[in-house]
Amino acid sequence: MTARRTGRPLVPAYLSTGGVATPRRGSLERLSVLAATDQPVPQGLPAAQHALLDVLGDGSLTVVESAALLRLPVSAIRVLAAELTDRGLVTSRPPVPAAEPPDPDLLKRVADGLRALKH
Amino acid sequence: MASAPSSTSGLRQPGSGPHLPDTARELVKILVAGPFGVGKTTLIDSVSEITPLHTEEQLTEASVAVDDLAGVRDKTTTTVAIDFGRISLPGGVVLYLFGTPGQERFRSLWDDIAYGALGALVLVDTRRIDDSFDVLGLVEETGLPYAVALNTFPDSRSYTEDQLRAALDLEPGTPMVACDARETNSSIDALLALVQHLIDRSAGT
Ligand SMILES: Nc1nc2c(ncn2[C@@H]2O[C@H](COP(=O)(O)OP(=O)(O)OP(=O)(O)O)[C@@H](O)[C@H]2O)c(=O)[nH]1
Ligand SMILES: [Mg+2]
């Protein structure tokens, strides 16, 4: 890290986490994709779990979109989705196949896609 | 509280519901970070295909709990709205943009949102450069690659690129572009400057 010339404080090396690869296996990310399975919904399912199933409908939503639509904190969706997954009523998949650093081909497709949106 | 920006995305798809398109395969995110009122929501809105959504996130004020002699009884939490937008790109990639406030007290929320992000676009208002130091510090601590987008307001003074780079203390390789967050094309160009930087880095430097 270079010396700072200005008033902006230097980030000490010991504070740097060296990237965003903190392992968090098994836990749902904001962009994990949720979908309902076609298993029958059991009687007496807690209302909050029911609400998540309803908002998923027969499509897919990310954790963060489910939270926004249900007006619940992301942490609550993580819990509800985990319970529904345990019951076999919901499946989840991670946002991207794990790659660190990000796959150059994926980055190129993001750039090409953005360029195509300009008008 | 900032009101909803008046202009909306030229990319909004009428009738597109909140559900993901069936073609969605890879979901990636970029943080749109910056201090209060710098234009984060405006930029996200100018490129999002969905009306931007938000989540309410709780911030636990640790200092309150520590100072409170009665223990947890009066522990207060404040809530902050984190908005996000979505752009489906051809080829199955869905890009999410998260408007992320950059102050040290948002640290644990920041880490949660930054997890897995490709990088950050840091918005800077040149009338109040110091306000961006916190967010630049957070981005660097997280190790996220970033680009700087300068939003100019009617009463902004003009600086040379060198003056701004020095004031922000940017590494020579960090992209810095001017941006009008209200304009879709300008916002896309700023995002492209970041993504090109990510490509250059991944090409092995
Ligand atoms: N001239 C100019 N005005 C802008 C630009 N970007 C945003 N604004 C205006 O600045 C104001 C604040 O923008 P917001 O997008 O609400 O800022 P924000 O960063 O989301 O603010 P908070 O969420 O409150 O932290 C709005 O009135 C915008 O119209 C820009 O690039 N140029
Ligand atoms: Mg905002």
What is the CATH classification number for the domain harbouring B176? 3.40.50.300
Has this prediction a pTM greater than 0.90? no
**Domain count of the fold of chain A:** 1
On average, the pLDDT of chain B sits at 86
Could you give the CA distance from residue B90 to residue A111 in angstroms, rounded to a whole number? 11
Distances in Å between the alpha carbon of B146 and those of A99, B54, B119, B172?
19, 23, 5, 12
The answer to whether residue B93 sits within a structural domain is: yes
* C-beta of B36 in contact with ligand 1 (< 6 A): yes
Host domain of residue B135: 26-204
Q: Do B89 and A119 touch (CB under 8 A)?
A: no
The answer to whether residue A3 sits within a structural domain is: no
**Domain count of the fold of chain B:** 1
* C-beta of B42 in contact with ligand 1 (< 6 A): yes
Which pLDDT tens digit goes with each residue over B51-72?
899 999 887 654 444 444 444 4
The answer to whether residue B126 sits within a structural domain is: yes
Which residue is listed with tokens 């796959």? A103
Which pLDDT tens digit goes with each residue over B69-110?
444 444 567 788 999 999 999 888 999 999 998 887 888 899
Alpha helices in chain B (DSSP H): 40-47, 62-67, 107-114, 133-142, 161-168, 184-202
Averages of pLDDT over each 10 residues, chain A, 119 residues: 51 43 62 96 94 96 97 94 96 79 87 92
Q: What is the pLDDT of residue A19?
A: 40
Which pLDDT tens digit goes with each residue over B18-39?
899 888 889 999 999 999 999 9
ipTM of the modeled complex: 0.85
Which pLDDT tens digit goes with each residue over B126-154?
999 999 999 999 999 999 999 999 998 88
The answer to whether residue B11 sits within a structural domain is: no
Which of A18, A59, A116 is the closest to B90 by Cβ?
A: A116
